[in-house]
Amino acid sequence: MVGIYLSGTGNTRHCIELLMSLVSPGSEAIPIEDPEAIPIIRENDEIYLAYPTQFSNMPFMVRDFINKHNNIWSGKKVFLLTTMGLFSGDGTGCAARLLKKYGADILGGLQVIMPDSISDCKLLKKPVEECSRIVRDANKRIAGVALSISSGRYPQEGLGFFAHMAGLFGQRLWFYNKTTGYRKKIKVSDACIGCGQCVKNCPMNNLSIADGKALSAGKCAMCYRCVSICPKQAITVLGDKVYAQCRFDKYV
Ligand SMILES: Cc1cc2nc3c(=O)[nH]c(=O)nc-3n(C[C@H](O)[C@H](O)[C@H](O)COP(=O)(O)O)c2cc1C
């Protein structure tokens, strides 16, 4: 058993690592951008795939990964874990349907509420104490789910018809275009000092430094990792101003 995950601000990484440590102590979870991800999936029959929900959908980077390597899923048993700020409808269902098309067996799905990762939208920001409480609640849920998985009962969150309708009508009909490709524009303000933290951490290798400033090559996965770590809060994606950098390590 192995875990593969995309995580921008650390929420999903925490959840998948916790779940795996409880279900199968000693098993590893590796990031989707790791070149070892493909050979490791090939070697394992049971895959736990985790990602943050984006507009009740999977991030394009995850869709792209599944499609590009469509020949590795046949016969795999896949459990899906998604994290979300509030509402995802069928966050897990989106990947489940695609993986089934490529021959995977879906064991189940778990959708966990975590702090919102969008740092440049004031409306979504919650105080650190509230985020910490959300993380504690998530930890308890994951512990409960791990117990039931260990006795062979997999949750089926986000996989049914009603969840599909909720995701579709609640968000995807209106925001689908945001997740059908990589984002061309991320905004870098004059506050950028060209330190290269964003370049080092981008899972898409989308950023470089040109003329002392971060520059995007147009392949942003909207994970918000760069936004969350920039020491000058100089990067934005959906909004125009960073209100509070969202990072899992702030909440524990
Ligand atoms: C571009 C974008 C879109 C998002 N859309 C949703 C959404 O539709 N529903 C939701 O509940 N959370 C949404 N979120 C919040 C994230 O899914 C959530 O904070 C997640 O835990 C982040 O995980 P990470 O830290 O592993 O990246 C969105 C976040 C981003 C960056």
Question: Does the structure show a pLDDT above 90 at 192?
Answer: yes
For residue 41, the SS3 value is: helix
Report whether residue 167 contacts ligand 1, using a CB cutoff of 6 Å. no
Question: Does the structure show a pLDDT above 90 at 170?
Answer: yes
Mean pLDDT, residues 19-42 = 97
User: How far is the C-alpha of 62 from the C-alpha of 47, rounded, in Å?
Assistant: 14
pLDDT tens-digit map of 238-248: 999 999 999 99
User: How far is the C-alpha of 17 from the C-alpha of 92, rounded, in Å?
Assistant: 17
Predicted pLDDT at 125? 86
| Assigned token pair, 77 | 């048993």
Ligand 1 centroid distance, CA of 81 (Å): 13
Ligand 1 centroid distance, CA of 160 (Å): 21
Predicted pLDDT at 155? 98
User: How far is the C-alpha of 195 from the C-alpha of 214, rounded, in Å?
Assistant: 8
Where along the chain do the CATH 3.30.70.20 domains lie? 187-250
pLDDT tens-digit map of 67-123: 999 999 999 999 999 999 999 999 999 999 999 999 999 999 999 999 999 999 998
Ligand 1 centroid distance, CA of 89 (Å): 13
Predicted pLDDT at 30? 97
Mean pLDDT, residues 210-236 = 97
Question: Of all atoms in ligand 1, which is nearest to the CA of residue 237?
Answer: 1
Predicted pLDDT at 227? 98
Predicted pLDDT at 124? 82
Backbone angle region of 212, left / alpha / beta, with phi > 0 → left and psi within -120 to 50 → alpha: left
Q: Please, which residues have CB within 8 angstroms of residue 106's CB and are 6 or more apart in sequence?
A: 78, 79, 80, 96, 99, 100, 159
CB-based contact 93:62 (threshold 8 Å): no
Predicted pLDDT at 252? 74
| Assigned token pair, 221 | 């996965």
Mean pLDDT, residues 15-40 = 97
Predicted pLDDT at 123? 87
Provide the CATH number for the domain formed by 187-250 in this structure. Answer: 3.30.70.20
Where along the chain do the CATH 3.40.50.360 domains lie? 2-178
Instruction: Please choose from 4, 92, 94, 116 the residue to mutate so as to test ligand 1's pocket, defined by most ligand atoms within 8 A of CB.
Output: 116
CB-based contact 76:8 (threshold 8 Å): no
Report whether residue 54 contacts ligand 1, using a CB cutoff of 6 Å. yes
| Assigned token pair, 105 | 């067996």
User: How far is the C-alpha of 192 from the C-alpha of 160, rounded, in Å?
Assistant: 45
Instruction: Please choose from 6, 92, 118 the residue to mutate so as to test ligand 1's pocket, defined by most ligand atoms within 8 A of CB.
Output: 118
Question: Does the structure show a pLDDT above 90 at 165?
Answer: yes
Does the domain made of 2-178 have the CATH classification 3.40.50.360? yes
The pLDDT confidence band at residue 191, using thresholds 50, 70 and 90, is very high
CB-based contact 234:214 (threshold 8 Å): yes
Question: Does the structure show a pLDDT above 80 at 45?
Answer: yes
Predicted pLDDT at 156? 98
